[in-house]
Structure 1
Amino acid sequence: MKQTLPLSLVCSAVLGVINLPVFAVDDQQIEVIEVYAQKRAQSLNDVSVSITPVKGDELALSGVKDSTELGSFVTNMKVSQNAAEGTPPAINIRGVGLLDYNTANTSPVAMYVDGASVGSANNQLVNFFDIEQVEVLKGPQGTLFGRNSTGGAVLIRSKRPDAGTYGEVSLGYGSDQWRKVQGMFNAAVNDESAVRAALSHVKYDYTTYNLHPTAPEANMEQSDLRLSYFGQWDKLSVYLKTNYSHWSGIVQPVGSIGTIKNPVTGESCSAQEAASGQCTDVFGFNDGSDDFWAVNVNNDSPHHSIGKGWTAEVEYQLSEQSHLVWINAFSRLDREHAFNCDGSPLQACEGNLGLKTELLNNELRYHREYEQGYLISGLFHLDERIYQDNYNDILRILRGTENGQNSATFMYDNAIRTKVLAAFAQYEWQWRSDTTLTFGLRYSDEAIEYDSLSHINIVDPNSMTDVVLPFYHVIGRNDDDNLSGKFAINYTLEPNKMLYYSFANGVKSGGYNGGFLSSPEQALQADYGAEKLNAHEIGTKLQFDEQAMRFNAALFYYDYKDQQVFMNQPSVVPGAVPLQLLENVADSKIYGAEADLYYEPMEQLEVQLGIGYIPHAEFEQFVDPLGVSLTDNRLPFTSKWNISGALSYSHNIASGTLKTSVGFDYQSEYYFDQQQTDYAKQDGYVLWRFNAQYEVEKWQANLWAKNLFDEQYSHLKFDLRNFLGMLEDFKGEGRRVGLDVSYRF
């Protein structure tokens, strides 16, 4: 019932847009969108990559805070906060993603901020403020962006200093104690250079609320600062940026979905009974509320993180046809993130993710424009160090009792270092006046060194005192060298109308799964190899200037080899903690289609519509370590249908302009893990957003709402049925409404 109405509204919107009249608009020119998908400024219509650009101003007006909300604007993309805000987000594009919350792993979707790689998934949680544009590149980007871009790449571009002296201050107030202060100041130093400062301070409570009487209110306070400089002379330009962030609060409380009908007999509930909220965990706990957003958990779980770094981009003009670009970037992140994994007032599963990462990367590129082509070649270097100081306290409630044989605190300290050297080149050849061929190749050599040390705290049954014992110590190295590349054909029908075919492949590097390992044997097997993806894509990019319309579409087919799969695997020992594995276990086939439409039927009206369809995203022959066949199971976090859109209308009122927008994002059902059970499944849902912006002279007021109809959905349901008789429920964000008032000077 709850899905029928939103889906019908979505279908009505789709049909309505399809039937919109197409007619010429006098004196109206559709905007030419500039993208950096090939590491240089180009028209969106000239690039043989499926790209969805999202303007920073659109994100700000929609109340979007960070990178985890990008999926609402991009077809066939899903971004989840996974194991609560503060842990690595899970980015999935066209069925390719990694759902592991472990802070040692990398995503198969690369992210770049101002041209520099952010490295592991820890750094992919980026707050949006003073942003120029975000580009989502779909499919392998192995030539220009290299390792860990098998699913695609997300390019975030901050607003850079420019000519003029001006600024803006914005204050925001909203539901659930939402408070925001943001500001920006740009100043010209002289005719050749300028500086810019941007800051953001946001504080809020979570829309999930806690019924536990002594638990503190869950909230987050985030402060971010960015300082930048840009100078441009005859042959030289320099961009310098430094950034700092400080986040602190109490993490969003996790819910418990019980799956036990009778704790005495151990009788299980069906998936439908569990979803009704009437079942318990193995201890007989139920949160006692019918409110989806209510939980009951001893959530005294603090989060604290500090991030800082710099980026430098230097461009030198060698001649009228050639130039060099050097990018140097460094970042450091220190984070402590406590968690509660039993979702109850009991001390059955608690812990902390302690983390320090240091990332240094350099890229040197040579650009050369020829009479019939364009060459980009370069060298890339990356050095990332990850230090983990984690623990997981299991079944403390049973410590020292006759049922406490599985009770222990696992403490694991991992040091993982990744070193990468790569060389790449891509050449675009104007073969004929209407046909361009693209050839690209990249060679990467990488080494991952790991030192994993673990201790275990248990109760000595003789003295009944806590003792700490060595658990395991594993030292190793994982070396990879690989080739990735691209071949594409662009055929121009007429100006701004293009057909293309591309073959691209990508490699996600191997590594060491430094997550929660519950046995020495598991630690010895935590080393995993690289995965590879070959992608075929046929697409079109059509821009109709007279009708003020842009239409992009693509068909894609993926052959996924040696796929790295995170498995939350039940233990063969009854009542023991599950095994959490990351292994190369399967090949997969993925194919689908997508289409994006932008249309301005009149100067005041804008229509956007995106449709994504992935009918097949399944494992090939695959049997898990317990002998369970998962062949033909659908890949996690992969909806069959994804439909999104927005309608904006602006008109003059008094001496100002009012622009009103309404948008939606529909996802059909998907599974949270490889087991494909109805317990760990998200039913189809639609999220609506709304904003009304009124602008007069130097003032702007913007009323915005996210999840307008308070749709109930989860970021992740982590299956702990065989351990605690429940599922961890990481709930999404409920309705949030806010008002921002800005002044420009």
Structure 2
Amino acid sequence: MTRFHLSSKSTVRLSLIASVGATALAAASPVHAQMEEAAGVSSSIGGGDIVVTAQRKEENIQKVPVAITAFSGDAVEQMGFQRPVDVISQVPNMNFQGPFGDVGVPIVGIRGVQLYDYGDANESSVAMYIDDVYMGTISATTGQIFDVERVEVLRGPQGTLYGRNTTGGVIAFVSRKPTDYLSGSASAQYGSYNQVVVQGAISGPLSDTARFRVAGQYNRDDGWQKNMVLDRRNARTNVGSLRATLEFDATEDFLLTASAHYTRSNGTNQQQVFRGTQDPNNTSVRCSDAQILTNLCSNQAGFVNPNPKPGRIYSNQDNLRNDLEVWGGYLRADWQLADNLKLTSITAYEDVNKFVREDADASANSGGNDYVEAYSADTWQLTHETRLAGEGSGYDWVAGVFYYRDHKFVTSAFEAFQDGTYATVNDKSWALFGQANFEVAPRLRGILGVRYTEETRTLENLVAVSGAVVGTTQGTPYFQTSGAVTAKETTGRVGLEWQANDNTLVYATVSTGFKSPVYNTTTVSNQNAVGPVGAEKITAYELGSKLRFADGNATLNLATFYYDYRGIQMVGTEPGVNGAPTSRFTNLGDANIYGLEAEFWARPTSNFELRFSGAFLHTKIKAGPGVLVTGTPVDGKRLSNAPSFNASAMIRYTLPLDIPGELALQADGRFQTKVYFGPDNQLLESQGSYAVANFRIFWKAPQDKFEISAFVENAFNKAYLVHTFNDPGVDVDHLLYGRPRWMGVKLAMNF
């Protein structure tokens, strides 16, 4: 079944690579806005200095001694980003795969570090924050991007300043704030498969001391897959999101912010494409890999799909739902205690409900055994963080406390086998943290940060049942268990940064991170497979530079790194009760990772700009000879979802016009080398090198009052796998493809 090995086999999820290629580097270039200002022009991508808060203080991204890529809100809109995962194709050494398709649980990897699980009781190795609020349930990150001020992506472990310790990195979304003048925007997009995307925002004053902002987006389409059996559409999007924010000046130095949001999605799964693995003349005999790859094989019922295509599926199931509801909000206080001392407090609540159902046999003809799986999650979380930040002559610092609590009720069921699991997991964590940047010598600064974390994860009750009904506690138990595990860990960061001159920064850092022990809760029929498994730990060594040259018309940012990655947590599968597969959690082993990243931006003329990023990555698993995945030793293999090279490029040209307004042409794309979708590096679970190209044309009225654009994404309709699962004991090779060619037009206005 795809999902089980999905966790034991992470995959590159690039489904929206086609959505927006390397244009992101237009905003990702750290001093994008500074360069534009130096050139004496403005660009529709970026639009102003990119000020980030990667170190919990506002500073120009070019001055931050961290490998970070940032996107301005204008860049997000121009590049067509609509979901959090859309930014990933634009970031060096960052990949994504969605085990349940475009709107399912996202698995994000940075520099080869990612989550090897697909259950909502676990947390991602790459943390996602929205307005400084950590999203602890993975499904909560599948909402929409709209009305954002900027997006920041930090590569490397974050074991000091961010609320939850992560081994991979951080994706942080910052929403646009209320304004003290009345303003708004609206847009409408129509695209392939009857796609309609409507977005709007309005902001303004309520009084001299209060301001508001309300923004929303609705996105729907008919689905880009056709079910050849039932004549139905799959991979259908139907999601709406709304956010309201209120700011109030309690005093001249005391700002209160309250925000609430709601997202509802009820589309259908992107269904797996069938590829048989058995000899059609003797279905008890498995085909060779070469025969399977040439589509000559069948399942045990004799069904053959001679020409698998991304948009063509076979299923007798008409209720392949993918439902998601996310709501929550936060209350924030910012108090300027003195000129050089600021207190920030954020308290937030998030609630997530999801239901997913899929046809895992990928066929209407499966020998009388409809292999249908269903999953649900009902979760809530409470977070609080208080930070105190100050600065003085030659130094600045930040210190704080973080509290996290969550409750997760998760279920999974194999309908055909009448077998499943339900479980309740509670987590409590608190941390003390601090970081100081201080002058060691002229132009040389030191970095010293530390975080102490205590965490207790409690498996309140896990029950394996026959006669399971997803989303409920129904069924006849055949085993149940409970337990608790506590972790205490000190992590941190130490480094040096040298500002050689106003245009050159060089830095060297050593940082650590960890991911706490976890339980396996997804379709477990063996008590020994529940866990818990030990913590993941990582030590990262990084050397980087940020350079601005050509009179501010070009930048080049470089980073090289080495990771010592230990105790990799991974979910695998094995035979279970009644023939249904069961999952098992384990610490797979260790890994060595090293690589090099480059981001380049240049504006040769006032109406021409180009971007490029490239990244090399080497990963190697270190595991004992007895560590097997699907019967294959993994020692010496590559990590999943980790191409040895990936690159993005963008060219944008603004045409001079004799009429008012601005016309711009844009071409962008992404290339990556071969990846494996599992740590056993099977040929049948791989995707070779490929590239995706996108094209856009924009016309913008003076003063940005009105804009019309047209686009084609995945312009050459490249068919590429974002996930495939193969098990020697299963009669079908499951294929998940990236989105095909997508065209559309968009109208937008500001007022």
* Secondary structure of 1:71's aligned partner: helix
> 2:234, 2:270 within 8 Å by CA — same for their partners in 1?
no
2:333 corresponds to 1:314: yes
Q: Alignment identity in percent?
A: 24
Select 2:372's aligned residue among 350, 367, 389. Answer: 350
Partner SS for 2:193: coil
Structure-1-length-normalised TM-score = 0.90
Structure 2: segments with no counterpart, 5+ residues: 1-16, 26-34, 469-473
Mean Cα deviation higher: 40-49 or 207-216? 207-216
Aligned-partner residue type, residue 610 of structure 2: V
* Pair 1:248–1:649, CA change in 2 (3 A): same
Q: State the alpha-carbon separation in 2 of the partners of residues 308 and 339 from structure 1.
A: 25
Deviates more, 1:117-126 or 1:550-559: 117-126
Match of 2:424 among 415, 425, 433: 415
Is 1:96 the equivalent of 2:113? yes
Residue 277 of structure 1: aligned partner? 295
The secondary structure found in structure 1 opposite 2:88 is: helix
Q: Which residue of 2 aligns with 1:220?
A: 237
- Give the drift of 1:563: 1.4
In 2, the alpha carbon distance for the partners of 1:707 and 1:717 equals 20
- Partners of 1:547 and 1:601 within 8 A in 2: no
Amino acid at match of 2:442: S
Query: Could you tell me which residue of structure 2 aligns to residue 699 of structure 1?
Result: 706
State the match for 1:186 in structure 2: 203
Structure 2 residue aligned with 1:606, among 609, 622, 633?
609
Amino acid at match of 1:739: V
1:32, CA displacement in angstroms?
A: 3.9
Q: CA separation in 1, counterparts of 2:493 and 2:36? A: 38
Give the AA of the match of 1:727.
D
1:560-579 map, 5 Å: 560-567=565-572, 569-571=573-575, 576-579=579-582
| Aligned pair partner of 1:452 in 453, 462, 469 | 462
Quickly say closer, same or farther: Cα 1:427–1:682, change in 2 above 3 A. Answer: same
Residue in 2 that maps onto 1:244: 262
Q: Give the drift of 1:263.
A: 5.8
Name which structure has the greater RCO, CA cutoff 8 Å, separation 6+.
2
1:371 is matched with 393
Are residues 277 and 628 of structure 1, via their aligned partners in 2, closer, same or farther at CA, if it must alter by over 3 Å? closer
Distance 1:387 1:328 in 2: 23
Q: Is the contact between residue 310 and residue 736 of structure 2 (CA under 8 Å) also seen in structure 1? A: no
Are the equivalent residues in 2 in contact too, given 1:619–1:634 (CA < 8 A)?
Answer: no
Higher deviation after alignment, 200-209 or 475-484? 200-209
Counterpart AA for 1:418: D
User: Whole-Å Cα distance in 2 between the matches of residues 33 and 545 of structure 1?
Assistant: 20
Matched, 1:531 2:548: no
Query: Take 1:171 and 1:710, find their aligned partners in 2: how far apart are those partners?
Result: 24
Q: CA deviation at 1:419?
A: 0.6
The one-character-per-residue Cα deviations of 1:671-730 (angstroms, maximum 9, x if unpaired) are 11111110111111111122111111422111122211111112211224413x112222
Does structure 2 retain, via aligned residues, the 8 Å contact 1:215–1:299?
no
Question: Which residue identity is paired with 2:557?
Answer: N
Which residue does 1:42 correspond to in 2? 59
Which segment drifts farther, 414-423 or 160-169?
160-169
CA distance in 2, matches of 1:218, 1:112: 27
Partner residue of 2:733? 727
- Is the partner of 2:390 in helix, strand or coil? strand
Aligned equivalents of 2:576, 2:254: Cα separation in 1? 63
SS at match of 1:715: strand
Q: What is residue 431 of structure 1 aligned with on the other side?
A: 440
Residues 622, 437 of structure 1: CA spacing in aligned structure 2 closer, same or farther, 3 A cutoff? farther
**Aligned-pair CA distance for 1:651:** 2.8
The separation in 2 between residues aligned to 1:305 and 1:32, in whole angstroms, is 36
CA distance in 2, matches of 1:530, 1:293: 40
* Partners of 2:289 and 2:500 in 1: CA distance: 53
Tell me the secondary structure at the aligned position of residue 683 of structure 2. Answer: coil
CA distance in structure 1 between the aligned counterparts of 2:393 and 2:407, rounded to whole angstroms: 44
1:645 & 1:620 partners in 2: Cα distance?
37
Query: How far apart, CA to CA, are the structure 1 residues paired with 2:696 and 2:350?
Result: 35
Contact 1:553 1:596 in 2 (8 A): yes
Cα shift at 1:577: 3.9
The alignment partner of 2:589 has SS state of: strand
| 1:290 positional shift | 4.8
Instruction: Compute the displacement of 1:533 (Å).
Output: 0.2
Q: Indicate the larger mover: 495-504 or 138-147.
A: 138-147
Map of 1:555 onto structure 2: 560
Query: Counterpart in 1 of 2:11?
Result: none
More displaced 10-residue stretch of structure 1: 269-278 or 160-169: 269-278
Deviations 1:173-222 (A, max 9, x none): 11112111111111122344321111101101332322113545552210
In the other structure, the counterpart of 1:400 is none
Contact residue 633 and residue 680 of structure 2 kept, 8 A: no
Structure 1 match to 2:598: 595
Alignment-mate amino acid for residue 601 of structure 2: Y
RMSD: 2.5
Whole-angstrom distance in 1 between the partners of 2:311 and 2:231: 18
Instruction: From 542, 545, 551, give the equivalent of 1:546.
Output: 551
- 2:39, 2:606 within 8 Å by CA — same for their partners in 1? no
How far, CA to CA, are the matches of 2:585 and 2:410 in structure 1? 17
Q: Normalising by structure 2, report the TM-score.
A: 0.89
Aligned to 2:648: 644
Counterpart AA for 1:424: F
Equivalent position SS for 2:297: coil
**Amino acid across the alignment from 1:240:** A
Matching of residues 282-301 of structure 1 within 5 Å: 282-300=300-318, 301=320
Name the CA shift for 1:597/1:299 in 2 (closer, same or farther; >3 Å): farther
The aligned counterpart of 1:582 is 585
Higher mean C-alpha displacement, 78-87 vs 670-679: 78-87
User: Is 1:302 matched up with 2:321?
Assistant: yes
Question: Aligned to 1:175, which of 189, 192, 212?
Answer: 192
Is structure 2 residue 353 aligned with structure 1 residue 330? no
Q: What is the letter of the counterpart of residue 353 of structure 2?
A: D
**Separation in structure 2 between the aligned mates of residue 325 and residue 494 of structure 1, nearest angstrom:** 33
Q: Deviations over 1:347-378 (max 9, x none)?
A: 43112111111011000001011212111000
Q: Is 1:262 aligned with 2:298?
A: no
- CA distance in 1 between partners of 2:298 and 2:72 (Å): 46
CA–CA distance in structure 1, aligned partners of residues 521 and 182 of structure 2: 49
Cα displacement string for residues 641-697 of structure 1 (whole angstroms, at most 9, x for unaligned residues): 001111111234321111221111111111111111101111111111221111114
Letter in 2 for 1:411: G
**Alpha-carbon spacing, 1:269–1:602, altered in 2? closer, same or farther (3 Å):** same
User: For the residues of structure 1 that align with 2:541 and 2:359, how far apart are their CA atoms?
Assistant: 43
2:500 maps to which residue?
Answer: 493
SS at match of 2:86: helix
Partner Cα separation in structure 1 for residue 576 and residue 139 of structure 2 = 31
Q: Measure, in 2, the Cα distance between the counterparts of 1:501 and 1:216.
A: 52
Q: Distance in 2 between matches of 1:522 and 1:612?
A: 37
- C-alpha displacement at 1:137, in angstroms? 0.2
- Counting matched residue pairs gives 702
Structure 2 residue matching 1:219: 3-state secondary structure: coil
CA distance in 1, matches of 2:665, 2:36: 23
| Counterpart AA for 1:268 | R
Contact kept in structure 2, 1:660 and 1:691, CA below 8 Å: yes
- Structure 2 partner of 1:401: none
After superposition, the Cα gap between the structure-2 partners of 1:358 and 1:205, relative to the gap in structure 1 and judged at 3 Å, is same
> What is the DSSP-based 3-state SS (H/G/I as helix, E as strand, rest coil) of the residue aligned with 2:237?
strand
Displacement of 1:560 = 0.6
Matches of 1:622 and 1:504, distance apart in 2: 30
Does the 8 A contact of 2:664 with 2:699 survive in 1?
Answer: yes
Shifted more, 279-288 versus 180-189: the winner is 279-288
Letter in 1 for 2:222: D
Kept in 2, the 8 Å contact 1:617–1:638? The answer is no
